[in-house]
């Protein structure tokens, strides 16, 4: 998978109506000319009915692989039927691309804020079905504005159990911690005093849309602290910023990764940072996977 450490480009590739989905393969062949690919997004009814059903949704899609351009294309606005929980579109794959992974981001078309993410390998000769995972409901986003979590001293988080604890970042066996330093700005770090923390676990992927930062970067991109990874990537600002995307190796995911986007960098002595994320323990991209807390119906009720 490629990683991207620069601002993505947004492309306006023509899209052709609606299509029908077929089976999904994993061995791509480079097209000699642009080809159409029918893509079905499903599990949309697990996001939130209030966010679907009106013509206020859009899809960003991104290709990874040899010859694939950087950035993403946009489709929409369109109306997603809540009753079926899926929508099928037809996209155009550019000539000369040997892309093997398709990544999708479903947005609120009015605000361009992400509602769900999904990714899969695909074959040029057939359609593809992509399970979309919410980033708007409990288990996949955090909100430290709750008085129980409203700490300006930082926090720790465990991805698998959706556990966010405000205060001193010293909880054992955590995945990440948010701490602060001079000049009173938050940063992300490997969870302090964790039982068996993953060394060099934080990689800065870039700013902007999560769909453009869907893979696992090289091992050399991972550092103990977010400011080190941002500095290594040449970022002008090394503190946490809204829109930052990180790839995190997490001990609770048993060798898997979390793709994390900062939604609010927090204010020291007022509130800890907030973020959205998706995880995967078997693929080097954010293909649909539920956390343990989600599978067990134990998502936090604090946000």
| pLDDT tens, position by position, 266-278 | 999 888 899 999 9
| pLDDT tens, position by position, 108-152 | 888 899 999 999 998 776 789 999 999 998 899 998 877 777 778
- pLDDT at position 47, please? 77
Q: Which residues contact 9 (CB under 8 A, 6 or more apart)?
A: 69, 70, 71
Calculate what percentage of the chain has a pLDDT beyond 90.
47
Report CA-CA distances (Å) from 123 to 134, 177, 275, 285: 25, 40, 33, 17
202 - beta bridge partners? 223, 248
| pLDDT tens, position by position, 180-235 | 887 789 999 987 544 455 679 999 999 999 999 999 999 999 999 999 999 999 99
Count other Cβ atoms within 10 Å, centred on residue 267. Answer: 14
**Interatomic CA distance for residues 7 and 235, integer angstroms:** 11
Q: Which has more pLDDT, 48 or 233?
A: 233
Enumerate long-range contacts of 169-174, CB under 8 Å, 24 or more apart: 173/251, 173/252
Average pLDDT of the residues in 18-24: 27
| pLDDT tens, position by position, 69-106 | 788 989 888 776 555 678 888 888 776 667 789 999 99
Average pLDDT of the residues in 249-253: 90
- pLDDT at position 81, please? 57
pLDDT at 51 over 60: no
| pLDDT tens, position by position, 25-38 | 223 333 334 678 89
Count other Cβ atoms within 10 Å, centred on residue 53. Answer: 15
Q: Which has more pLDDT, 182 or 257?
A: 257
> What is the CATH class of 10-134?
mainly beta
Rg of the chain taking only CA atoms, in angstroms: 19
| pLDDT tens, position by position, 223-243 | 999 999 999 999 999 999 999
- pLDDT at position 34, please? 62
Domain with CATH 2.60.40.2990 in the chain: 10-134
Average pLDDT of the residues in 32-52: 72
Q: With helix as H, strand as E and coil as C, how does the chain read?
A: CCCCCCCCCEECCCCCCCCCCCCCCCCCCCCCCCEEEEEEEECHHHCCHHHCCCCCEEEEEEEEEECCCCCEEEEEEECCCCCCCEEEEEEEECCCCEEEEEEEEEEECCCCCEEEEEEEECCCCCCEEEECEECCCCCCECCCCCCCCCCCCCEEEECCCCEEEECCCCCCCCCEEEEEECCCEEEEEECCCCCCCCCCCEEEEEECCHHHCCECCCHHHEECEHHHHHHHCCCCCCCCCCCEEEEEECHHHCCCEEEEEEEECCECCCECCEEEEEEECCCCECCCCCCHHHHCCCCCCCC
Calculate what percentage of the chain has a pLDDT beyond 70.
79
Q: Provide the pLDDT confidence category of residue 3 given band limits of 50, 70 and 90.
A: very low
Q: Which has more pLDDT, 7 or 264?
A: 264
- pLDDT at position 52, please? 52
Q: Which has more pLDDT, 291 or 89?
A: 291
- pLDDT at position 15, please? 37
């Amino acid at each position: 998978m490629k990683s991207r450490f620069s601002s993505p480009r947004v492309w306006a590739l023509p899209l052709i109506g609606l299509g029908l989905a077929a089976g999904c393969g994993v061995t791509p062949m480079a097209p000699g000319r642009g080809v159409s690919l029918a893509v079905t997004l499903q599990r949309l009814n697990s996001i939130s009915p209030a966010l679907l059903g009106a013509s206020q949704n859009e899809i960003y899609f991104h290709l990874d692989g040899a010859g694939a351009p950087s950035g993403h294309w946009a489709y929409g606005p369109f109306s997603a039927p809540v009753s079926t929980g899926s929508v099928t579109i037809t996209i155009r794959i550019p000539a000369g691309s040997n892309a093997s992974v398709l990544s999708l981001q479903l947005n609120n078309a009015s605000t361009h804020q992400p509602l769900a993410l999904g990714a899969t390998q695909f074959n040029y000769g057939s359609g593809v079905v992509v399970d979309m995972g919410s980033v708007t409901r409990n288990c996949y986003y955090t909100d430290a504005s709750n008085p129980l979590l409203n700490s300006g001293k930082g926090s720790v988080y465990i991805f698998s159990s959706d556990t966010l604890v405000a205060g001193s970042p010293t909880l054992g066996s955590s995945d990440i911690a948010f701490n602060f330093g001079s000049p009173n700005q938050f940063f992300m770090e490997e969870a302090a005093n964790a039982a068996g923390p993953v060394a060099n676990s934080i990689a800065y992927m870039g700013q902007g849309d999560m769909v453009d930062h869907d893979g696992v970067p090289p091992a050399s991109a991972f550092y103990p602290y977010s400011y080190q990874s941002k500095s290594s990537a040449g970022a002008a600002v090394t503190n946490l910023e809204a829109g930052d995307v990180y790839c995190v190796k997490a001990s609770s995911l048993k060798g898997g990764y979390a793709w994390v986007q900062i939604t609010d960098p927090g204010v020291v002595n007022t509130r800890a940072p907030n973020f959205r994320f998706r995880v995967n323990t078997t693929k080097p991209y954010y293909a649909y996977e539920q956390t343990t807390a989600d599978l067990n119906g134990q998502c936090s009720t604090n946000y």
